[in-house]
């Protein structure tokens, strides 16, 4: 085992391979607050990559309703139970106000064992703890859709409340969008006895070499997110490939520039922004929208960082969900992220406008400042909106998009009015 630094855990950890971060890392920010679970992303991915025999059950992109939904069923509940190791591995975080701005530990320090460390602690003959889902657990990509959890009330003594209000609803659910996280320390790479899985140096995309894979399913077992899938027809495993030909700029539409993945560019709810994160976590680029949202503003958080794989898909947490549940899912940065999202800074509000405005990856943004158009109070604090203009640029500095915070409106002339 090598010792590597995991910035999401705020500490070093054990991993079978040496640290080898890509210069740029494929990444995305998903805004859970905006998702409508239309599954357009899911179908876009399915119709692009997984339409052949043996792939029927494969959903490389899926959107599940939390807390009950999951694909495969109960994937996160099961791995959390294994990781807690019957209470012997408290998944605790230690934070102090001094830690918070430390780039090496932006969320504080994770004190429990990761999936890799627990396998070592328990002296297992494998690199990470995990399990292979039963066939029946892959049956439904979207079971328990829109099923809410309710606060238990004793109807004998308490009146049943049929309303909810922020900051956390008593009755709640939310949509969790999931693809492979193209992790910095992928469990699938670590687990593969054939060394058939690799992480690309140029963009951090994790791929399975179909010629080397022998279908041992160690990746299926040890990826905590359950994103590699076994194909019975070919007897080898497959996974999300981050639409790498598009990311390489091979699609003629973007004229050689990096293009967003299919599930991202199809998103109807405009919840997804796909781009490249600067590889060096200690020196984020304040003009790169991904670095800005993830590492500088910390409004977008990793999914189950305690697993230890340093996942590279980030989530703006849902505002209405009880915080304890969210802290378990996204770590201790949840409260700060929700506070920032609820009353975004001038720059953040401008960057939010870039979501789903172009298929070409935006690598830099600039803001032209405009006049104040609105003022209110949110969570007891003044919140101002300015009609700023945000400009998105490609890697080669071509201007891709120019959009105002205040959406322009036009009033139809009276002649167009229909009168009865």
CA 175 to chain centre: 12
In the complex with ligand SF4, the residue whose CB is nearer, 208 or 400, is 208
Taking CB positions, which residue lies at the least distance from ligand SF4?
A: 269
Per-residue x/- track, 41-60, ligand SF4 (CB under 6 A): x-------------------
Residues 360-379 that bind ligand SF4 (CB under 6 A): none
Q: C-beta of 316: minimal distance to ligand SF4 in Å?
A: 12
- If one asks whether residue 261 binds ligand SF4 (CB under 6 A), the answer comes out as no
Cα(183)–Cα(237) distance, integer angstroms? 18
For residue 120, give the nearest of 85, 90, 94, 76 by alpha carbon. Answer: 85
- If one asks whether residue 105 binds ligand SF4 (CB under 6 A), the answer comes out as no
Per-residue x/- track, 297-316, ligand SF4 (CB under 6 A): ------------x-------
Binding window for ligand SF4 (CB under 6 A); candidates: 34-42, 70-78, 346-354, 384-392:
34-42
Q: C-beta of 356: minimal distance to ligand SF4 in Å?
A: 9
Binding window for ligand SF4 (CB under 6 A); candidates: 50-58, 104-112, 264-272, 379-387:
264-272
Position among 83, 118, 129, 187 found at the interface with ligand SF4 (CB under 6 A): 187
Q: Contacts with ligand SF4: how many residues (CB under 6 A)? A: 29
Binding window for ligand SF4 (CB under 6 A); candidates: 33-41, 156-164, 166-174, 396-404:
33-41
Binding window for ligand SF4 (CB under 6 A); candidates: 10-18, 88-96, 185-193, 345-353:
185-193
User: Residue 326 half-sphere exposure, CB side, CA atoms within 13 Å?
Assistant: 27
Q: C-beta of 224: minimal distance to ligand SF4 in Å?
A: 7
- In the DSSP assignment, the letter for residue 412 is P
Cα(253)–Cα(102) distance, integer angstroms? 41
Q: C-beta of 110: minimal distance to ligand SF4 in Å?
A: 17
For residue 190, give the nearest of 415, 349, 15, 348 by alpha carbon. Answer: 15
Binding window for ligand SF4 (CB under 6 A); candidates: 90-98, 220-228, 284-292, 395-403:
220-228
- If one asks whether residue 142 binds ligand SF4 (CB under 6 A), the answer comes out as no
- If one asks whether residue 237 binds ligand SF4 (CB under 6 A), the answer comes out as no
Position among 119, 180, 299, 329 found at the interface with ligand SF4 (CB under 6 A): 180
181: left (phi over 0), alpha (psi -120 to 50) or beta: alpha
In the complex with ligand SF4, the residue whose CB is nearer, 65 or 363, is 65
- Phi and psi at residue 10, to the nearest 5°: 70, 25
Cα(231)–Cα(33) distance, integer angstroms? 34
- In angstroms and rounded to an integer, the radius of gyration of the C-alpha atoms of the chain is 22
- If one asks whether residue 38 binds ligand SF4 (CB under 6 A), the answer comes out as yes
C-alpha pair distances (Å), 111 with each of 95, 307, 310: 10, 12, 15
- If one asks whether residue 37 binds ligand SF4 (CB under 6 A), the answer comes out as yes
The CB density around residue 221, as the number of other CB atoms within 10 Å, is 19
In the complex with ligand SF4, the residue whose CB is nearer, 329 or 386, is 329
341: left (phi over 0), alpha (psi -120 to 50) or beta: alpha
- If one asks whether residue 223 binds ligand SF4 (CB under 6 A), the answer comes out as yes
Counting every residue written for the chain, the total comes to 420
| DSSP secondary structure string for all residues of 178-223 | E-----SS-HHHHH-TT--EEE-TTT--EEE-TTT-----HHHHH-
Sign of CA dihedral 86, 89, 92, 93: negative
Binding site for ligand SF4 (CB under 6 A): 35-41, 63, 177, 180-183, 186-188, 206, 223, 225, 227-228, 239, 266-269, 271-272, 309
């Amino acid at each position: 085992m090598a010792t590597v630094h995991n910035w999401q855990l705020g500490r070093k950890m054990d991993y079978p391979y040496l640290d080898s971060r890509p210069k740029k890392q494929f990444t995305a920010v998903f805004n859970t607050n905006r998702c409508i679970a239309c599954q357009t992303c899911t179908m876009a991915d399915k119709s692009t990559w997984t339409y052949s025999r043996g792939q029927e059950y494969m959903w490389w992109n899926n959107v599940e309703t939390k807390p009950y939904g999951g694909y495969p069923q109960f994937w996160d509940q099961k791995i959390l139970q294994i990781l807690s190791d019957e209470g012997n591995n408290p998944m605790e975080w230690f934070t102090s106000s001094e830690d918070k701005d430390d780039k090496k530990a932006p969320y504080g320090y994770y004190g429990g064992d990761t999936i890799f460390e627990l396998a070592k602690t328990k002296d297992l003959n494998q690199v990470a703890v995990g399990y292979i889902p039963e066939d029946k657990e892959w049956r439904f990509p979207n079971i328990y859709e829109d099923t809410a959890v309710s606060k238990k009330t004793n109807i004998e003594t308490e009146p049943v409340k049929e309303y909810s209000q922020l900051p956390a609803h008593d009755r709640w659910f939310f949509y969790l969008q999931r693809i492979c996280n193209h992790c910095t320390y992928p469990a699938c790479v670590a687990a593969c006895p054939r060394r058939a899985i690799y992480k690309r140096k140029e963009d951090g995309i994790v791929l399975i070499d179909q010629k080397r894979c022998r279908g041992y399913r160690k990746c299926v077992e040890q990826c905590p997110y359950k994103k590699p899938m076994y194909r019975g027809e070919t007897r080898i495993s497959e996974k999300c490939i981050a639409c790498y030909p598009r990311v390489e700029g091979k699609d003629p539409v973007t004229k050689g520039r990096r293009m967003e993945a299919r599930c991202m560019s199809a998103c109807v709810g405009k919840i997804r922004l796909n781009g490249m994160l600067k590889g060096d976590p200690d020196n984020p680029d304040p003009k790169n929208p991904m670095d800005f949202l993830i590492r500088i503003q910390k409004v977008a958080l990793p999914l189950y960082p305690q697993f230890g794989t340093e996942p590279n898909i980030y989530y703006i947490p849902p505002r209405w969900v009880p915080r304890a549940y969210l802290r378990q899912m996204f770590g201790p940065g949840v409260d700060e992220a929700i506070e920032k999202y609820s009353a975004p800074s001038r720059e953040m509000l401008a960057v939010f406008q870039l979501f789903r405005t172009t298929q070409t990856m935006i690598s830099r943004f600039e803001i032209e400042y405009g006049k104040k158009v609105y003022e209110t109070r949110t969570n007891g604090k003044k919140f101002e909106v300015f009609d700023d203009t945000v400009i998105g640029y490609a890697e080669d500095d071509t201007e891709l998009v120019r959009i105002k915070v205040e959406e322009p409106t036009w009033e139809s002339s009276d002649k167009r009015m229909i009168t009865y």
